[in-house]
């Protein structure tokens, strides 16, 4: 009820993590929070698989992949069409 006056914001990386206004604070939480979440999940997956972070190939895909991959410790490649390419391969094999 009390957050109804918070503004809608563009999903964009702010210049700093510690913001000085509401819009940049929301952006910082969204962008840097998501980057932290993605890196944490990747780190846990690497450990669970018993792999070394230098031997795994992490590819980001999707609409905000550039934003996340630019700051990630693990993502080294971006392929925005990976999902569609996979669907194309499945389609071709099932003709």
CATH of the domain at 63: 3.30.420.40
Burial track 5-39 (b if 16+ CB lie within 10 A, e otherwise): eeeeeeeebbeeeeeeeeebbbbbebbeeebeebb
pLDDT at 75 over 70: yes
pLDDT over 90 at 62, yes or no: no
7 within domain boundaries? no
State the Cα–Cα distance between residues 88 and 82, nearest whole angstrom.
10
The tokens for 76 are 């080294």
- The answer to whether residue 13 is domain-embedded is no
Q: What's the average model confidence in pLDDT over 72-77?
A: 94
Total domains in the fold of the chain: 1
Q: How many CA atoms lie within 13 A of 89 on its CB side?
A: 6
Domain assignment of residue 5, yes or no: no
Q: Is residue 89 part of a domain?
A: yes
Note the pLDDT of residue 5.
Answer: 82
pTM of the full predicted structure? Answer: 0.80
> Is 59 a domain residue?
yes
Per-residue pLDDT averaged across 62-70, rounded?
90
What does the block give as tokens for 61?
């895909």
Q: Is the pLDDT of residue 2 over 80?
A: no
Q: Is residue 74 part of a domain?
A: yes
């Amino acid at each position: 009820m009390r957050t109804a006056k918070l503004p809608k914001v563009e999903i964009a990386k702010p210049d700093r993590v510690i913001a000085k206004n509401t819009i940049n604070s929301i952006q910082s939480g969204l962008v840097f929070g998501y980057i932290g979440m993605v890196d944490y999940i990747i780190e846990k997956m690497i450990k669970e698989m018993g792999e070394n972070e230098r031997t795994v190939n992490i590819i980001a895909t999707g609409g905000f992949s550039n934003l996340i991959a630019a700051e990630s410790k693990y993502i080294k490649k971006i392929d925005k069409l990976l999902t569609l390419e996979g669907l194309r391969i499945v389609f071709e094999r099932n003709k």
